[in-house]
Structures are given as C-alpha cells and as structure tokens.
Amino acid sequence: MRELEMTADLRELRGRVRSFMDEHVYPAEPVFDREDAEAEALVKELQGRVKAAGMWAPHIGPEAGGTGTGFLPYAYLNEIIGRSHWAPLVFGCQAPDAGNAEILNLFGSPELKRRWLRPLVAGDVRSFFSMTEPEVSGSDPTGLRTRAVRDGDDWVVDGHKWFSSGAEGAAFGIVMAVTDPDAPPHRRASQIVVPADTPGVEVVRAIPTMGHRGRGWSTHCEVRYTGVRVPVANTVGEPGDGFRIAQKRLGPGRIHHVMRWLGQMQRAFELLCSYSLEREAFGGPLAGKQTVQNWIADSAAGIQACRLLTLDTAHKIDQGGEARVEVSLIKFHAAAVLHDVIDRAIQVHGALGLTDGTPLASMYREARAARIYDGPDEVHRMVVSRRILKAFEEGAGWDFAEGGPARPAGG
C-alpha cells in the first residue's frame, strides 16, 4: 500500500541505524549482558554517539526532546532497533520510559514536563510504571487496591505493587492509585508522579523472572508505598483520569512492543536459516529436511503478516485513530509468531540453542513473557471478539478494509 511506503529520508535513516547496530551494538552485547559497571559505561558512551548522530529517542517528537516523526516511521526503525535487547536503551526508547514520556507529554502539566519529562527523554534519569499488584488480577485493573487519599494539597499513597519494571535505580515512578473508591469503576483511579526518594517508597526486591534477576532498567520490582506524601499537583491529567490515560499509554506501548518483536523475529529467522545451512545431520544439511523447510516457510509468512499488520496499525494511529482492535490483534498474534519463530530457531540449533552462545535463549524468555505483559493474550482476544460481535449484533457486519463495522452503502 502506498501509504505504508518509506520515504527517502526514512530509508536513509534506517540505513544509518542498521550500520550503527552492526558496528557498535551487536559486538557490545557480551559486555551489556554482564550488566556491570563496564556495561553501564559502554551504554552511556553509545548513547552519546546516538545523540550526536541525530537518532536519539525516535519514539517521541522534537517538542519533547526526541527525533520521532510518527508511529509508522518508528515502526520501520524499531524493527531494526528491536533486534537487540539492549538497543532500545542505547537509542533512548526503552520501556517503560518511552510510554511514561508519552503520557507526560500528552497529559503532564508544564511543571511535570519541566521536572520529569525533559530529563527522562534526555536519558538523564530513568522511570518506572507502577500499576500491577500481586493481590489482584492485572488483567482487570478496576480491582486495584493501592489508595491515594487527599490531605490538603497532598496525596498520601499506600499500596503494594510488583512488576514495576525498571524501578531499581529509577528517579521516579508513575503510580496508578484509587483516588475515589465511590466513583464508577473506570473513574476511580488516578496516575500520580512519585519521586523514588520520597519517604515511604520502598523497592522491596527485583523479582527474578524465569531465572533472570536483571539490574537497573531490566528489573521487575516489588514496591511498597507506606504513607507516601506527594503534591496533588503531581497528578497526571485530572483526578479520575487514570484508566483513560492508561489506555492512551498501553495502546502505543503495545504497538511499541510489537515493533521491537519484529526485530527479534527477523533476527531469530536469520539464525534459523543460516544455521540450517551450516549444520549437517543424517547425510546432509538441516536445510534439506522437509520439516526445517516448513519451519522456514511458516516463519517467513508469520513475520511478514505481523509486519503488515503492525505497519497498518501504526499508519491508522498516525491518522488520528485509536486502532484498539488492530492493537489487540497484533499484540496476541505477534506474541505467538515471536514465540514460534524463536522456538524453531532453538530447535534447529539443538543444544547450542539452549546456551548463551546465541541470543536465542534470552529471546525465548522474553517471548514467553510477551504473552502476559500489557494484557494477556486472552484479554486481547476478548477485546477483538467483542468488538466484532457487537458490529454483527447491530447488523453492520465487519469490514476488514475499514478495520471496523461495515459502512452502509453510500455512507
């Protein structure tokens, strides 16, 4: 489709990003994986190079300090950046900072933007998003228990969160808390900026996930808030806007994840194909076995389908649409394709695929988590099916060209 084509400028920028990845990021991955002081220093050095090259923070526009020009261009860049777990950090577009920057840019007061958005986008500080709670289902945030009670010009926050990704070493978090328990379910909560050094904020631990604890930005933390007092002026948007803002954050956040997954899929696919040509068994290369050929063909079809779904969704968001059905579609579909492509690549590599001799093992761990975070697959399937069934109940049917209810003839 013509509207999904790359401009000459974007093609040139993609080339520069690809060259930077080849020259600097992939060779540095063994150092990054150590997550020690040397790794941190190398990240800082490469971040400086990215900034100097004019490729920094492509997820957000120049008005907030980034270099972004929209969702569709970012999708094309992110399928290259996303090939490495570490590259988003190097390019200043890592989660959850990218999503937090977007909502501060959209809903933050001038003071919140000055105090937190600018240094966040510049990479001077990190942040975390604190919504999920261990005692209630993350797929139904209307049950959140964390409370923020107003006391004069302050909120007093009490609650228990976990999987607050990146909380270790972060400067602040955006906390989802119930501020009006008597309001309708989707007007009860607010999002509040909480500086990490506020008395009563306790990062209890970084939770090991599938054998990996992480460090700093790659952690998933348990956090307690006990009598945490912050100004009401730290509210993002208005009190009661928490769920609306969460949708604004999570929608783009989900498509950002899928954009990165496109890079992971393609890197795993390349490893699958290359190794199948090198490795010989039972009288010939694995590439000559029909099962492996089927895996390659199925992977190629799945990756291209995910690319086109993602690019189309990004284009619709750039045109002003919410694309809620499309975002849910790509979230669960791409997570499955990601898992399958990596799984096939591991199978072709055999025992080597289980080691840290390739990036496949760590990619596999992330792929399994992809089916849970930012909404489990089952919830996204439910969202899609309910929207489609509602269109049929109303007699409209579903128009795949429109990505929504069919319009009446002449409409």
Indicate the pLDDT class of residue 221, thresholds 50, 70 and 90.
very high
Share of the chain above pLDDT 70, in %: 98
Q: Tell me which fold the domain 127-236 belongs to.
A: Butyryl-CoA Dehydrogenase, subunit A; domain 2 (2.40.110)
For the stretch 318-359, pLDDT in tens is 998 878 899 999 999 999 999 999 999 999 999 999 999 999
For the stretch 19-58, pLDDT in tens is 999 999 999 999 999 999 999 999 999 999 999 999 999 9
Which single residue is written with the structure tokens 């649409």?
Answer: 321
Residue 206 burial (C-beta neighbours within 10 Å; 0-12, 13-18, 19+): buried
CATH number corresponding to 2-108: 1.10.540.10
For the stretch 268-306, pLDDT in tens is 999 999 999 999 999 999 999 999 999 999 999 999 999
Indicate the pLDDT class of residue 214, thresholds 50, 70 and 90.
confident
Predicted confidence at residue 251, as pLDDT, reads 64
Answer yes or no: are the C-beta atoms of 342 and 271 closer than 8 Å.
no
Q: In the chain, which segments carry CATH 2.40.110.10?
A: 127-236
At 165, is the secondary structure helix, strand, or coil?
Answer: strand
Q: In the chain, which segments carry CATH 1.10.540.10?
A: 2-108
Q: In the chain, which segments carry CATH 1.20.140.10?
A: 244-404
Residue 411 has pLDDT above 60, yes or no: no
Indicate the pLDDT class of residue 241, thresholds 50, 70 and 90.
very high
For the stretch 348-388, pLDDT in tens is 999 999 999 999 999 999 999 999 888 889 999 999 999 99
Residue 168 has pLDDT above 90, yes or no: yes
**Which of 3.30.70.1090, 1.20.140.10, 1.20.120.50, 3.90.550.10 is the CATH number of 244-404?**
1.20.140.10
At 5, is the secondary structure helix, strand, or coil?
Answer: coil
For the stretch 88-143, pLDDT in tens is 999 999 999 999 999 999 999 999 999 999 999 999 999 999 999 999 987 777 88
Q: What is the mean pLDDT of the chain?
A: 93
Predicted confidence at residue 5, as pLDDT, reads 85
Residue 409 has pLDDT above 60, yes or no: no
- What lies within 8 Å, CB to CB, of 341 at 6+ separation is 265, 268, 269, 272, 299, 302, 303
Residue 3 has pLDDT above 80, yes or no: no
Answer yes or no: are the C-beta atoms of 95 and 120 closer than 8 Å.
no
- CA dihedral (281, 286, 291, 294) in degrees, to 10, reads 180
Radius of gyration of the chain (CA): 22
